[in-house]
Amino acid sequence: MKFRKLIAVLLSALMIASAVPFAFVSAAEGTPANPNVAFVADSAADGGDGTLAKPFNSLYSAFEKLAKSGGVVVVIGVCSLFEGLGGVMPVTEKHITVTSYYDGVDYRAKKYASEEVGARIDFLIGPTTSFALHGDVTFDYINFSVGSTTKNVIITANFNDLTITENCATLFEEIDGTVWYDGSFYLDNNARTYAPIILTGENVQPGGKTVVCDQVVNIFGGIWNSIRIGDRDNVSRNTYDGKVTLNIDGANTRFVQYTGAHKTNNLCVMGNYQASTTKDFVATVNIKNGIFDGQINGFGYPGGVTPEPQLNEGTININITGGKFNRSYGGEDGVGNIIYMAQVPHGFTTSKGYISEYGETAVVNLYIDPTNLTYGENDGLIVYGDESAKCNLTVASDKGITAEGVEMKVSANVGPDAPVVTDAPVVTDAPVVTTVAPVVTDAPVVTTAAPAQPEPTPSTGDASVLVVFAAAAVLCVAAVVVIKKKEN
């Protein structure tokens, strides 16, 4: 009997021990450790090698170190981007994650050296100089900070994959941490210039090329002026071919572009901006959540600095299944929350001579499920179609939806003329840019294929759990055998 009691105690101890790894052995919080890592902060000394002991003092150097291998850039202090080439990153061949929360340490809550605030990327650039990315990048646990003297900051993906996770935030603070704007934005026409613009393409480049890409852009956090599939103010208009997928999600994700005018050229979400498109071009915009102060379009306004016509062809799919839509403008109409399927008609010419043209293949498919939509001042969405493109509007129900210039089809399932609504992946194969890079004024153009994001480094905690369980199981079986022998 004493022997049996001893065995029972042993078995109980083994069971407790096998449960311990679940409580105490786990992966560190934040971005997992990676053998390819570079640390960076403005206040670091010159001559750093990117280690935690000797960090780089420029984001460019950190990207350059990981250009071939990919890996993780850890922003451990203030990391400023300056006018000129200060915001232009090198060409990178493999995926890079930029984070301030690495291997269990949250540098956003720390102050590096003599700095007055925690880790962040500080924008000191304007609209003519971009934070230009030239490879696939994910921002995770990053604070983007905009100072009071900085306006119209622009981030360009340059046809590469870009992800901004729900762990990112946009701050309106001075370098000492003083908050200079409260972030209210709503119906404030001037404040829209405070938040950064995100472009899937280029900004102030020579342009004039055909770009074949397979690009995925995910915006799941932060406050932004707008997100635009296209370019801005290139010398010559680019032509887009291939596929671009834009996923917007996150309750705190916000787009504040608001200009107080009907059919303004700048909207908060743009399916096509200042770029021509081919018959094989497909853009898919999936809106699952977020706050939208301004309007949304499919084929957009023909802006830019070139008088070349903007030829709209191919297909734009817009799927809206969530989000809060605030009133986008006032005036005599007294309405808001507008979606333009084709913003301006064929032959439309701006005051600066920009011309909008549509090919026979131009199609816009819009699907709206109003079940989870909320609104600001106006309870509903107004959809404008135009005969310049084939416009297909399908809604799960017509509650709060008004259509002008397009027939609205009510269907619980997406109709045959509307896009198929699917959950687009966060990370897909990286785009292949098949153009030859032109001579540029502020940044190189990506001319190589960037590979997909690598699998994350596995946690050693899970392996420890399996080892302990296996050992416990073996000991338990042995104990049972001993008991049986004693009984016999």
pLDDT of res. 474: 45
Asked if 10 and 127 sit in the same domain, the reply is no
Note whether residue 457 is domain-resident: no
Predicted confidence band at 213 (pLDDT cuts at 50, 70, 90)?
Answer: confident
Asked if 86 and 17 sit in the same domain, the reply is no
Tokens found for residue 83: 């006018």
| Nearest residue to 369 via CA among 306, 327, 421, 295 | 421
Asked if 379 and 482 sit in the same domain, the reply is no
Q: Is residue 4 predicted with pLDDT exceeding 80?
A: no
Note whether residue 199 is domain-resident: yes
| Nearest residue to 27 via CA among 480, 456, 479 | 456
pLDDT of res. 475: 46
Strand partners, 144: 121, 170
Tell me how crowded residue 20 is: count the other CB atoms within 10 A of its CB: 12
Model pTM above 0.85: no
Note whether residue 340 is domain-resident: yes
Asked if 424 and 476 sit in the same domain, the reply is no
Asked if 47 and 11 sit in the same domain, the reply is no
Give per-residue burial for 131-146: e unless 16+ CB within 10 Å, then b.
Answer: bbbbbbbbbbbbbbbb
Q: Is residue 454 predicted with pLDDT exceeding 90?
A: no
pLDDT of res. 431: 38
Choose between 370 and 11: higher pLDDT: 370
DSSP for 319-362 reads EE-SEEE-----STT----EEEEESS-TT-B-TT--BEEE-TT-
Q: Is residue 14 predicted with pLDDT exceeding 50?
A: no
Question: Domain tally for the chain?
Answer: 2
Asked if 13 and 91 sit in the same domain, the reply is no
Asked if 480 and 376 sit in the same domain, the reply is no
Asked if 11 and 94 sit in the same domain, the reply is no
pLDDT of res. 457: 38
Asked if 73 and 17 sit in the same domain, the reply is no
Note whether residue 50 is domain-resident: yes
Mean pLDDT calculated for residue range 25-49: 90
**pLDDT tens per residue across span 238-288:** 999 999 999 999 999 999 987 666 677 778 999 999 999 999 999 999 999
Predicted confidence band at 326 (pLDDT cuts at 50, 70, 90)?
Answer: confident
Q: Is residue 106 predicted with pLDDT exceeding 80?
A: yes
Note whether residue 283 is domain-resident: yes
pLDDT of res. 259: 66
Note whether residue 458 is domain-resident: no
Tokens found for residue 369: 């499920």
User: CA–CA separation, 358 vs 311, rounded Å?
Assistant: 6
Note whether residue 294 is domain-resident: yes
Tokens found for residue 78: 């203030």
Note whether residue 202 is domain-resident: yes
Asked if 90 and 140 sit in the same domain, the reply is yes
pLDDT of res. 153: 92
User: CA–CA separation, 444 vs 438, rounded Å?
Assistant: 8
Asked if 328 and 471 sit in the same domain, the reply is no
* Residue numbers of the domain that contains 8: 2-23+463-487
Residue type for position 445: V
pLDDT of res. 323: 97
Asked if 421 and 341 sit in the same domain, the reply is yes
